[in-house]
């Protein structure tokens, strides 16, 4: 399978804990995106990378959230001191750098905060 | 600001019926892209189509067809002869050329096809 891969599929943690998610994009894609999707809503943009550079961040991305893509390949999204409101599906997508190219999404990581 | 509105929260039809999912968008940009994505129960967003703002030609792909009308800022999606496997949440989405990294999604329409 050569699609976007996300790990883990589901994460359950207690409020206040830190969590980290991983995304492996399609290999030739140099753009990588993170979105958050809450129940009954469409995905909301969080941030994106062009290679290893983080070029845009949404206001939704509070200071408890940090994303990295150190070698321009896989990316990690960390949430520190998790809160109930962080419960959501976190989706990763990738695309080629041409803005005309569609974004291809992974299966997502579902985060549940107890 | 950009916005996508999918007024139909849920639609339920009997198999083999035709069904149209409505999408209305707002943007002041003259260059933009419109998308439809399908999200089955497994959760993965599946890309269906992308149109740019300069191409109003309608498109047909098998049982799927899309009607893009700039005059009404609409990009509607029709499934002909629906099948149970079409059951999913469908999202209409928009990105503008000036910020093509960001896709703005509508709230989705949950489509249920009854056998």
Q: And the tokens for A10?
A: 């589901």
Q: For residue A84, what is the DSSP state?
A: G
Task: Supply the pLDDT for residue B97.
Answer: 77
Of B46, B47, B105, the CB nearest to A42: B105
Interface test with A, best of B7, B40, B43 (most A CBs within 10 A): B43
Q: Does residue A73 register a pLDDT over 80?
A: yes
Task: Supply the pLDDT for residue A100.
Answer: 67
**Using 50, 70 and 90 to split pLDDT, how confident is the model at B110?**
very high
A102 touches chain B (CB under 8 A): yes
Give the minimum alpha-carbon distance from A46 to chain B in angstroms, rounded to a whole number: 9
The residue behind tokens 């990690």 is A76
With beta carbons under 8 A apart, name residues in chain A contacting B45. Answer: 43, 91, 93, 105
Give the minimum alpha-carbon distance from A114 to chain B in angstroms, rounded to a whole number: 22
Contact B82, B76 (CB under 8 A): no
Three-state SS for chain B is: CCEEECCCCEEEEECCCCEEECCEEECCCCCEEEEEEEECCCCCCEEEEEEECCCCCCEEECCEEEEEEHHHCEEEEEECCCCHHHCEEEEEEEEEHHHCCCCEECCCEEEEEEC
Contact B49, B66 (CB under 8 A): yes
**Using 50, 70 and 90 to split pLDDT, how confident is the model at B99?**
confident
Of A33, A40, A106, the CB nearest to B101: A33
**Using 50, 70 and 90 to split pLDDT, how confident is the model at B102?**
confident
- Answer yes or no: do A42 and B99 touch at CB < 8 A: no
CA-atom Rg of chain B in angstroms: 14
Task: Supply the pLDDT for residue B39.
Answer: 94
**Using 50, 70 and 90 to split pLDDT, how confident is the model at A71?**
confident
CA distance A20 to A111: 10
Q: How confident is the prediction for chain A on average, in pLDDT?
A: 92
Lateral strand order in the sheet of A75-79: A5-7, A19-24, A75-79, A65-68
């Amino acid at each position: 399978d050569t699609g976007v891969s996300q790990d883990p599929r589901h994460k359950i943690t207690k409020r206040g804990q830190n969590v980290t998610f991983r995304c492996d994009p399609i290999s030739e894609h140099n753009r990588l995106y993170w979105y958050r999707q809450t129940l009954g809503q469409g995905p909301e943009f969080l941030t994106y990378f062009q290679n290893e550079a983080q070029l845009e961040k949404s206001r939704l991305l509070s200071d408890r959230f940090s994303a990295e893509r150190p070698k321009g390949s896989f990316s990690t999204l960390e949430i520190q001191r998790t809160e109930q409101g962080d419960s959501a599906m976190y989706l990763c997508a990738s695309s080629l750098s041409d803005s005309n190219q569609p974004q291809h999404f992974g299966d997502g990581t579902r985060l549940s905060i107890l | 600001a950009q916005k996508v509105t999918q007024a139909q929260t849920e639609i339920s039809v009997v198999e083999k019926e035709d069904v149209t999912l409505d999408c209305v968008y707002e943007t002041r940009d003259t260059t933009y892209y419109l998308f439809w994505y399908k999200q089955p129960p497994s959760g993965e967003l599946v890309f269906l189509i992308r149109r740019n703002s300069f191409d109003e030609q309608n498109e047909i792909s098998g049982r799927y067809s899309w009607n893009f009308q700039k005059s009404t800022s609409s990009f509607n999606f029709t499934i002909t002869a629906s099948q149970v496997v079409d059951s999913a949440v469908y999202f209409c989405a928009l990105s503008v050329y000036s910020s093509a990294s960001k896709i703005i999604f509508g709230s989705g329409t949950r489509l249920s096809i009854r056998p």
